[in-house]
Chain A
Amino acid sequence: MGPISFVKEYWRLMLLLVFVSFALVALFIPGGIMADDSYVDGESVNDNPTNLEYGLGLDGGTRISAPVVGMTAENIDAGAVDDDGQVDRERLNEIESTLYDNDEFELETGDARVSIDDDGNVHAEVFTDEVTEEQFAAALAEAGVEVDPDEDIRDGVTAETRNQMIETIQSKINEAGLDGGDAYESEQLGGQHYIVTEVPDMDPDELRNLLSERGIVEVVAYYPEDDAGNHTNQTVLEGGDIATVDPPQTSERGGGYEVPVEVYSNAAPEFQDNMNELGFTGEGQGMCQLSGGEDGVNFDHDGPQYCLLTVVDGEVIDAHSMGDNLARPMAEGTWSSDPSFVMGAPDQQQAQGLSVSLQAGAMPAPLDFSQEQTYSLSPALADQFKLYSLLIGGLSVLTVSGMVFLRYRDVRVASPMILTAMAEVVILLGFAALIRMPLDLSHVAGFIAVVGTGVDDLIIIADEVMDEGDVSSQRVFESRFRKAFWIIGAAAATTIIAMSPLAVLSLGDLRGFAIITILGVLIGVLITRPAYGDILQRLLTDK
Chain B
Amino acid sequence: MGYFDVPEFDYTRYSNRQLAAVPLAVLAVALLVLTGSFLATGAPVQLGMDFAGGSELTIQTTSSEEEIVQAFDEEPESVQAVTAPDTENQYIVQFTSTDLSSLSEQAEANLAQDGDTAVVQEERTVSESFGEQTQQTALLGIAVAFLGMSVLAFLLFRTFVPSIAIVLSAFSDIVIPLAFMTITGISLSLGTVAALLMLIGYSVDSDILLNNQILRRQGDFYESTLQATRTGVTMTVTSMAAMLVMGVSAWLFGVELLASIGIILFVGLAADLMNTYMLNLSLLRWYKFHGVRS
A is bound by B = yes
Which A positions have Cβ atoms within 8 angstroms of B? Answer: 65, 188-190, 192, 194, 203-205, 208, 370-378, 380-381, 384-385, 387-389, 391-392, 395-396, 398-400, 402-404, 406-410, 441-442, 444-445, 448-449, 451-453, 455-456, 459-460, 463-464, 467, 486-487, 490-491, 493-502, 505-510, 513-514, 517
Interface SS, B side: helix
Min Cβ gap A146→B in Å is 32
Q: Which chain A residue lies CB-closest to B128?
A: A371
A393 to B147, CA, bound (A): 31
With A189-B137, A494-B200 known as contacts, the answer to whether A372 contacts B257 (CB < 8 A) is no
* Contacting residue for B243 out of A387, A409, A441, A452, CB 8 A: A452
Q: Does B58 contact A (CB under 8 A)?
A: yes
Which residue on A lies nearest to B209, using beta carbons? A487
B37 at the interface (CB under 8 A from A): no
Query: Could you say which of A204, A455, A498 has the most chain B C-beta atoms within 10 Å of its C-beta?
Result: A498
- Bound CA–CA A517/B194 (angstroms): 11
Residues in chain B near residue A490, CB distance under 8 A = 152, 156, 208, 212
Additional pairs, 19, CB under 8 Å, beyond known A385-B255, A507-B138, A509-B191: A188-B137, A189-B133, A189-B136, A371-B130, A372-B130, A373-B126, A378-B118, A381-B58, A384-B84, A387-B85, A392-B245, A398-B245, A403-B234, A406-B2, A456-B235, A494-B201, A497-B149, A500-B148, A505-B137
Residue of A nearest to B4 (CB): A406
Chain B, residue nearest A377 (CB): B122
Instruction: Knowing A388-B84, A491-B208, say if A378 contacts B120 (CB, 8 Å).
Output: yes
* Contact yes or no, A498 B124, CB < 8 A: no
A129 and B145 alpha carbons, distance in the complex (Å): 38
Q: Determine if A499 and B117 form an interchain contact, defined as CB atoms under 8 angstroms apart.
A: no
| Contact across chains for B208 and A494 when beta carbons are under 8 A apart | yes
CB distance from B158 to the nearest CB of A (A): 13
Q: If A392-B246, A501-B144 touch, does A381 touch B122 (CB 8 Å cutoff)?
A: yes
A459 neighbours in B (Cβ, 8 Å) = 231, 234-235, 238
Assuming the contacts A407-B234, A508-B50, A508-B134, asked whether A378 and B122 have C-beta atoms less than 8 A apart, the reply is yes
Chain A's nearest CB lies how many Å from the CB of B123? 5
- Check B24 for interface membership: any CB of A closer than 8 A: no
Which listed residue (A371, A377, A502) contacts B121, Cβ 8 A?
A377
Report Cα–Cα, A165/B141, bound state, in Å. Answer: 29
B208 contact set on A, CB distance < 8 A:
487, 490-491, 494
Q: What are some 10 contacts across the A-B interface (CB < 8 A)?
A: A377-B122, A381-B58, A381-B122, A385-B255, A391-B249, A406-B2, A441-B255, A449-B198, A498-B200, A501-B140
A391 touches B253 (CB 8 A): yes
A451/B122 in contact, CB under 8 A: no
* Proximity string of chain B (187-225) to chain A, C-beta cutoff 8 Å, 1 when within and 0 when not: 000110110011011101100110010000000000000
Contact of B241 among A203, A385, A400, A442 (CB under 8 A): A400
Q: How far is the CA of A65 from the CA of B131 in the complex (A)?
A: 12
Complex interface: chain A residues within 8 A of B201 (CB)? 453, 491, 494-499, 517
Instruction: Enumerate B223-242 residues with CB–CB distance to A below 8 Å.
Output: 227, 230-231, 234-235, 237-239, 241-242
- Asked if B176 is at the interface (CB within 8 A of a chain A CB), the reply is no
Inter-chain contact A455/B238, CB cutoff 8 Å: yes
Q: Is the C-beta of B78 less than 8 angstroms from some C-beta in chain A?
A: no
Which residues of chain B in 98-136 are interfacial with respect to chain A, using CB atoms and an 8 Å cutoff? 100-101, 104, 117-118, 120-127, 129-130, 133-134, 136
